[in-house]
Structure 1
Amino acid sequence: MKMIKLSVVGLGLMGKQHVAAINDHPSCRLASIIDSNDDVRAIAASEGCHFYNNINEALLKTEPDGLIISTPNARHFEDGLTGLKHGIPILVEKPISDSLGHGEELVKFGKKNNLPILTGYHRRHNPIIFDIKKKLDEGVIGKIVAMHGMFWLYKPKDYFDELWRTKQGAGPIYINLSHDIDLMRHFLGEIESVQAVASSAIRGFDVEDTAIAILKFMSGVIGSISISDTVVSPWSYELTSNENPAYHHTTANCYWIGGTEGSIELPKGTFWSHNGKKSWWEPISSTTTVNKKSNPIYNQLDNFVNVILGKEKPLVSGLEGLKTSAVIDAIKRSTVTGIFEKPRF
C-alpha cells in the first residue's frame, strides 16, 4: 500500500493525539508539524519530521497527501481553506469553523473542487457507537421518545492559560457540546429547533462555563442536555467512555435514550426493559453491551487514509460537521434571544 504523507497544523492536546495515531498507522508517515510556537520545533525533531511556522511554506515544500487541522477554533477556516487551495484533502478538528458562514464556505469550496473534508467528530468511530446506532435503527427500544445528556466536569485553572479558551469562539458549548450534539444527530436524526440558557457566573470569562439546552428533533423526539466545565462530577463522555487514557475512567454514564420498549444508557451500552408486561409496577432488568476497545482517533485516521486513497467515503464529512455547527450556532443564538431557534442548515 502507498505510504500516505500527512502534515499536522497545531500541536495542542488534539494535535499530539493525531501525531501519535499517525506514528501507529502502518500506512502513514508524518511529513511535517506546523505551529506558531517555536518550542514545537524540538518535538518535530524528535518525531523525525520537518517543522514550519508557516502553513503555506510547509505544504509547498513537503507536498503532503493530507492535512490535519488541530489549531484553535478561530483558525480552522483559514487553515482549512489554505489546505484545500493546495489541492489537499483535510481533516478538521471540530468545530469545522467558529463561524457558520465560514464553515459553509469551506464545505462549498471542497465540493466545487472535489476535495474531501472530514470533520473530527471521532466519537462516531468508536465501536460501541456503531453497535448502539445499529440497535437503535433496528428498533430494540421501540419508538424513541426522549433523550438526556450531561457534560459535567471540572477544568483546572491552568487549562485556561491558553487565553483563546477564555474568549469568544471557545467555551464548552463550542469546544465540548458539539461532540454531544453530533452523536445525538447521528443517533436520532436532525434537530428542528433548540432553546438554551447559559451562564458565566463562576469564572466570569467572555464565554459561558455552564449551559442547558432543550432539543426538538424532526422525528418528534425531545431532549435536554446540561453542560458545565466547572462542576466536579463523573458525568461526561470523557470520564465514562474510557477512550482517552488522559482521563480517569468511571463506571458512570452520560447519555440516556428512552423508547416505548426500553431505554439505553451510554456509553456503557446498558439496555433496560421489562421481561413481560410493560408497567412501572413490574420488574425491570438490564443487559450491557460488551465491545472490544479501540482508539477512535486511530479509527478516524484510518478512514482519512482510505478517503485519500479513494477506498472509502468520510464517516463524518464536512457537511455533517457543518450541520452540527448549525445546531451549536442555534444554541448560542438562543442563549441571547431566550427563544427557540432553528439551525440554519
Structure 2
Amino acid sequence: MDRVRIGLFGAGLIGREHARFITAHPRAELAAIADIGPAAAGFASELGVPFYSDYRALLAEARLDAVIVALPNALHLAAGQAVIGAGLPLFMEKPVADTITAAQALVAAGTAADIPIQVGHHRRHAPDIQRARATIAEGQLGRILAVNGMWMAKKPRDYFDVAWRREAGGGPMLINLIHDIDLLRYLCGDIESVQAMSANSARGFAVEDTVVVLMRFASGALGTFTLSDAVPSPYGWDTAACQALYLAHQPGDCFFIGGEKATLSVPSMDLWRHEGDGDWRHPLTRTHLAHDHASCYVRQLDNFLAVVRGEAKPLVDGADGMMALATVAAIEEAARTGARVAPAQMLARG
C-alpha cells in the first residue's frame, strides 16, 4: 500500500482539521469529502478532492482504504455501520456515539466484521501522556492512592449562540470532560463508581457549566475532578500541554497523580518524592521527566495509518470510547440523582 486513501465524512470544524492533517501527511491522501453543508463543497474544491453530499455515494464510488467520520453525534452509528459494512477501517470522532446503546451496537458491528475502530480521544497520543503512562507502569509512583484533576476555562458568550450548546447534553461533560475521563482511565485504570454535583448558575442555561466529581477506581484509588467552562484559568490539558489547535499555550498542570512513592504532575511532568525512602520530615525532590512536544493530532493520524496497514492496533479502540461515554453518563446520572453510580450500571441499561 502506498499512501493511505482516506474518505472524510463531515467538513465541520474538526472535520476540516482532519482534512488538513491528512493533506499534510506524507503517507496519507484525502480521497473525498462527504457533507450536506454548502460550504463543504467549496472546502473540497479548495483542496482539489471530490465532494459528495451523501456519504453512501462516496462509499460506493470512491477508491478508499479507510474512513474518518466527523459528523454530528447522532449520525455516528449509521455512518459507522456503513463504513464497517464496506469493510473499511473506521476512525470515529469522539464521542464514539450519541448513546450507550448506539455505542454498543457500533462496537459489536466492528467486532463481528473484524474491522478496527479507532476513536478520536487524541490526548492519549501526546508525548507527555505517553511518558506519564510509562512512568506509572515502571512503578516510579508506587501504588496509586489519590488523583486530582481539573479542566477550567471560560468560553465566550457567542459560543452559546448555537442553540444545542445551551441545552442538556450540549455542555462540558460530553464535550470536554469525556477527554479527561479517557485520560484518567488510560493512566490510572478503570473507574469503578462516581458521585457528582453539577450547577448551571454561571449562565442559567439548561446545560451545566460547573461539575465536581468524586471517583473510586477499580484499583481502590480515589480521585476528584473539577470541571467548569465559566472560569478563567490555566488548568486544562490542551492549553497547558501546548496541544490546543486554536488557543494559546499557558503553562500549568491539570492532573496530580499520587502514589506511595511519588506524585506526578501532568503535563509539566514533574515527579515529586522525599529523599531516600523518607516522609514529610524529609526534603522533597523534584525530577523533571523530559519528553518531546510532537503534535498529538499528528501521532493520532500516524496510529490510524498503522492500523489501516495492519501494523498496529488502535491506541483508543471502540471499547475505550464506549467506556468513556458510559463513565460520563454515570457522572450525569450521579449529579442528577445524588446517588453513587457505576459505569457498569449504565452499560447494563444500554
Q: Given the two structures, how large is their TM-score scaled by the length of structure 1?
A: 0.96
Matches within 5 A, 1:186-225: 186-225=186-225
Residue number in structure 2 paired with 1:259? 259
73-82 or 33-42, larger mean C-alpha shift: 73-82
Aligned runs of 1:239-258 on 2, under 5 Å?
A: 239-258=239-258
2: distance between equivalents of 1:218 and 1:42? 49
For residues 55-134 of structure 1, what are the structure 2 equivalents within 5 Å?
A: 55-134=55-134
Kindly provide the CA deviation profile for residues 273-316 of structure 1, in whole angstroms up to 9, marking residues without a partner as x. Answer: 11135232322121212211111111111111111111111111
> 3-state SS of the aligned residue for 1:140?
coil
Q: Conserved in 2, the CA contact under 8 Å of 1:69 and 1:92?
A: yes
Deviation of the 1:40 alpha carbon: 1.7
The residue type paired with residue 109 of structure 1 is A
Computed over aligned residues only, the root mean square deviation of the Cα atoms, in angstroms, reads: 1.5
Instruction: Report if the CA contact (8 A) 1:74-1:169 is conserved.
Output: no
Please state whether the residue corresponding to 1:91 is helix, strand or coil. strand
Quickly say closer, same or farther: Cα 1:21–1:322, change in 2 above 3 A: same
AA at the equivalent of 1:72: P
Mapped partners of 2:295, 2:279: distance in 1 = 40
Matches within 5 A, 1:282-321: 282-321=282-321
Q: 1:204 is matched by which residue type in structure 2? A: G
CA distance in 2, matches of 1:181, 1:168: 19
Q: How do 1:150-169 and structure 2 match up within 5 A? A: 150-169=150-169
Cα distance in 2, alignment partners of residues 161 and 66 from structure 1: 35
CA contact (8 A) 2:239 2:249 kept: yes
Residue identity opposite 2:159 in structure 1? Y
> How many angstroms does 1:245 deviate by?
4.6
Partners of 2:167 and 2:59 in 1: CA distance: 30
Instruction: Give, in angstroms, the shift of residue 78 of structure 1.
Output: 2.5
Contact 2:147 2:256 in 1 (8 A): yes
What are the Cα deviations for residues 6-62 of structure 1, in whole angstroms up to 9, with x where unaligned?
Answer: 122222332122112101211211112222210121111111111222111122121
1:163 positional shift: 2.8
Q: Is the 8 A contact 1:72 1:164 kept in 2?
A: no
Task: State how far apart, in whole Å, the 1-side matches of 2:105 and 2:145 are.
Answer: 35
Matches of 1:128 and 1:238, distance apart in 2: 11
The answer to whether the aligner puts 1:325 opposite 2:341 as a matched pair is: no
Query: Does the alignment pair 1:237 with 2:237?
Result: yes
> 5+ residue gaps in structure 2?
none
CA pair 167-73 structure 1, distance change in 2 beyond 3 A = farther
**3-state secondary structure, aligned to 2:343:** coil
Q: What amino acid does structure 1 have at the position aligned with 2:134?
A: K
Q: Is the 8 A contact 2:22 2:30 kept in 1?
A: yes
Tell me if the contact between 1:147 and 1:224 (Cα under 8 Å) persists in the aligned partners.
yes
Which amino acid counterpart does residue 169 of structure 1 have in structure 2?
G
Aligned length: 345
Q: Counterpart amino acid of 1:9? A: F
Post-superposition shift, 1:195?
Answer: 0.7
Distance of 1:313 and 1:238 partners within structure 2? 25
| Alpha carbons 1:98, 1:169 under 8 Å: kept | no
**Kept in 2: contact 1:7–1:66 (CA 8 A):** yes
Q: Residues 49, 310 of structure 1: CA spacing in aligned structure 2 closer, same or farther, 3 A cutoff? A: same
- For residues 224 and 256 of structure 1, the distance between their equivalents in structure 2, rounded to whole angstroms, comes to 10
Answer whether contact 2:196 2:335 (CA < 8 A) is retained: yes
Q: CA separation in 2, counterparts of 1:62 and 1:258?
A: 50
CA distance in 2, matches of 1:108, 1:341: 24
Question: Quick one: which amino acid aligns to residue 244 of structure 2?
Answer: N
Quick one: structure 1 residues 325 and 307, their matched pair in 2 at CA, closer, same or farther if it must change by over 3 Å? same
Q: Is the 8 A contact 1:241 1:267 kept in 2?
A: yes
Distance 1:12 1:200 in 2: 28
Question: In structure 1, what residue type is equivalent to 2:51?
Answer: F
